[in-house]
Each structure stands twice: as structure tokens, then as C-alpha cells.
Structure 1
Amino acid sequence: MQKNNKKNSKNVFNYIVVLVCVFISIFFDNFSFSSNIKKGNIMENQRNQYYKGMTLTELIISLFLVSVLSQIALASYSNLVARMRIYTASSTLHAALLYARSEALKRGGGVIICRSTNADGNSASCDAAAATGASAEWGDGWIIFHDRNQDGKYSTEDEILQVHGKVFQSSTVGSINSSPIRKQIKFNNLGQVYGTFLEFSIVAPEGKLDPSYFRYICIASGGRARIDKQECAQK
């Protein structure tokens, strides 16, 4: 990241140096007078210079300057949008996990959050596909429900507490992956999760964003979730 910043800064500096040199050249060109200008015509010459239009050289330089600044602004804006998507997705999932845990404490356990590929639909349901490969991706959304009959899966007898649709429109924008692979998480009456330590990684596709902006949600066996800038195994 630091190397990229240095490279970009160097390029911008080079552009600025070129532009300064060109504008200095134009400045002296506009204010220089040929030796054969008569003294009585100096005021008239200055007046004509003041009102004359933009030269071809000035137009080209202006377009070049606009192009350079536009490229810099577009790159910065794209990076900002990608970062905001990661931050928003991690904050949204983190809030959902905290909510599920608090409901489990309040209801005496049996609260499940499951990933759902049709959470945006009229009849949202938990994804029943095997939790392997791409099916472990939580970016399509999730459902939080109270498992009243304690069968470990969503049914019409259960109470839906929260439904959240897509946080990323496609995997080309970002993804949320669980490790170890899980399609649902269940909280007991103490707010604890069944199983071992869990991690959600909220990342962008390779090359779209510097990894230092990725976020990780770590869930210990006690059930409390936290957001970190590093992978949970490194803490």
C-alpha cells in the first residue's frame, strides 16, 4: 500500500512539474514583445493581448490538466466506495450477530442466524444447501429466528426476528466468508455459540482494494462478536 501511494505521489508530482513548466513558458510567451514594436503601440498591443482568445497550446494544456485531475479523482472515489462497502457490510453483520445473541439471552436460547440466498424475496428461508465452497458465502443475506421447536432448522412454527437481504450485489463487489464453514450459528441461553471459534472475513476481490481495509468478525465460544482489522487467528 505504501509503495502504491509513493508511486502515485511520484506520478502526480511529475504531472505538476510538467504543468508548471508549460505555464511558465506560456506566461513569458504572452508577455514578451518583439524588438520591432514601436513604443507608441505598446498600450494597444497589451489591450489586444488581454482580449485575445485561448491559443491551441493553452487549450491542449487545459484538457491535459482536466484529464489528469479526473483520473486522480476517479481512482480516489472508487477506492473510497470499495472501503465504505466493506465497512458497511462488516458493521451490518456485526450488529446482526449482537442482536441474535441478545435475543438468545432474553428468550432462554434457541436463537439461530442462518445465511439465506432468498432473503430479499417474499418467502425468505434459510439456505439448505451444503455449507461448502461458494455456498458458504453470507453476502446474499441472512435470517434470524427463534427455534421454538428446537429442531435446529427454520420451520413455520418458528418466529422470524430479523431478515436482511444482500449486503453485496455480487461477488465482484465483495464477499463474506465463514471459517470454519457454517451455514448457520445457534446461540444458547447463555449467549454462547455451539462449536468452536468462528470467523467471518469481509473482503473485496483481489486487486480491487488493499487487504489492510478488509475486516474480520471474530466470535469466541462465549458468543460475543467483535470486528478486527486482522484475521482472528492472528490475535
Structure 2
Amino acid sequence: MHYTSELIMRLPSHQHPLQFRGYTLMELVVATALLAILIQLAIPPMSRLLSEWQREHATRAIADHLVLARSEAIRWSQRVVMCSSVDGLRCSPSSNREWKSGWIVFQDIDGNGQFGPSDKLVAVSQGSHGIRSIRGNALLQRFVFMPTGMMASGMGTLEIVPTMGTSQRITVNRIGRVRLSTSLPVE
């Protein structure tokens, strides 16, 4: 022990083993300010990227279900309906044009356009998060595919509007083909 205290006393102050080197308050304030600036610069691009990803996810989910509905109509030679649905159990009322809460795809065995006990459920979607709106043109509430794969009505369009970025349109033409297109940026 005697040697240790002598050794400590002989070392210059900058080599003292018990002396700790830390950051000053000013260094911590400057580093925190720089970090805050970098975060402020990174958040808008990340928000836009997340919004575009959510839009792409919603677009792909709807397009995939439309293709599924058409192929099931052809496969089973049966009318297949894809309609907006809030609860996943029945089609939304005709006054509700919003699709972001979800939709269902079913074989319309009784031909009334509404999901009922005699119909066969094909798919359910619980909707899309982070999307401002998914709306149909005019009063589009459902897509009805005939056993030939053609639409029972004319062409239908859904527009997916994200919280920021560009919106996207899904158009189903009379013969049941799905086409995607990008719209104007969302403000």
C-alpha cells in the first residue's frame, strides 16, 4: 500500500489514475442541439416514406382482393361481390362510400348483393391504417363480378388518399381488369 500512494503522488496530474474525464455541460448542450436539428431534418422524409408505404400496402390489398373476387367468380361460375364493410360481417349501407374501414369478398349465391347466411365468404379485410380515405367514384359501394369475370355494372374506381404524398387510383374496367394509376399529390 505504501508503494501505491507514493506512485500516485509522483504521477503528473494529467496521469492521475483516480481523475475522470467527462463532458462539460456546454458540450452536452451543443450535442443535444445538434441531435435535435438532425431529428427535425429526418422526420418529414420518414413521415412521407411511411405514408407512401401505407398507401402502397392499401392499394395492393384492394387490388389483390379485386383479382381474387374476379378469379373466384370464374372458378366457381358464381357471382362474387366485393363490398365495403365496417364490421367484416355485412356490406356497408349504400350511403357509406368509404372503404378504409375494410371490405369483404363473398360468393353471392342468393343474388341479392348482400352477404347473408346462404352466401360463402371468400375473404375479409380489416381495412388500412394511416390512410386518410379510400373512396369510390360516384356511389360505388361494391364490385360485382359475373361468372364470366366481367363486371355486372360499368367501370369502377377507388381512390386511395394517404395522409401525405400522392394518392393512387384503382380502376376496374368492364371486363374486370384491374389497373393502377397515380393521382395528384395530397396537400
TM-score normalized by the length of structure 2: 0.80
After TM superposition, give the deviation of residue 166 of structure 1 in Å: 2.3
Work out which of the residue numbers 143, 153, 160 in structure 1 matches 2:104. 143
1:218 Cα offset (Å): 1.0
Q: Structure 1: which amino acid aligns with 2:129?
A: F
2:127 paired with 1:163: no
Letter in 2 for 1:183: Q
Residue 227 of structure 1, CA deviation: 1.7
Q: CA deviation at 1:46?
A: 9.0
Look up the match of 1:118. 87
CA RMSD of aligned residues (A): 2.3
Q: Given the superposition, is the C-alpha separation of residues 193 and 71 from structure 1 closer, same or farther in structure 2, using an over 3 Å criterion? A: same
Query: Aligned-pair distance for 1:151?
Result: 2.6
CA distance in 2, matches of 1:137, 1:91: 17
- Tell me which residue corresponds to 2:161: 203
2:179 alignment counterpart: 226
Look up the match of 1:189.
147
How far 1:62 sits from its partner (Å)?
Answer: 1.2
1:168 to partner: Cα distance: 2.7
The share of aligned pairs that are identical, in percent, is: 25
Cα distance between partner residues in 1 of 2:33 and 2:114: 61
Equivalent residue of 1:229, what SS? Answer: strand
Q: Which among 36, 40, 49 is matched to residue 67 of structure 1?
A: 36
The alignment partner of 1:85 has SS state of helix
| 2:57 corresponds to 1:88 | yes
Partner of 1:99: 68
1:77 aligns with 2:32: no
Stretches of structure 2 lacking an aligned partner (at least 5 in a row): 1-11
Q: 8 Å contact 1:178–1:199 — kept in the other structure?
A: yes
Cα shift at 1:223: 0.8
Amino acid at match of 2:165: D
Please say if residues 158 and 170 of structure 2, whose CA atoms lie closer than 8 Å, have aligned partners that are also in contact: yes
Structure with the bigger percentage of strand: 2
Please name the residue that 2:94 is paired with: 130
1:47–1:141 Cα change, 3 Å: same
Q: Indicate if the aligned counterparts of 1:168 and 1:175 stay in contact, CA closer than 8 A.
A: no
Report how far residue 225 of structure 1 moved. Answer: 0.8
- How far has the Cα of 1:52 moved from its partner? 5.7
Distance (Å, rounded) in 2 between the aligned partners of 1:47 and 1:73: 42
Structure 1 spans left out of the alignment, 5+ residues: 1-43
Contact 1:86–1:174, Cα closer than 8 Å, also in 2: no
CA distance in 2, matches of 1:220, 1:160: 24
Residues 67 and 47 of structure 1: CA distance in aligned 2, closer, same or farther (over 3 Å): farther
Structure number with higher helix proportion: 1
Q: 1:152 to 1:130 in 2, by over 3 A?
A: closer
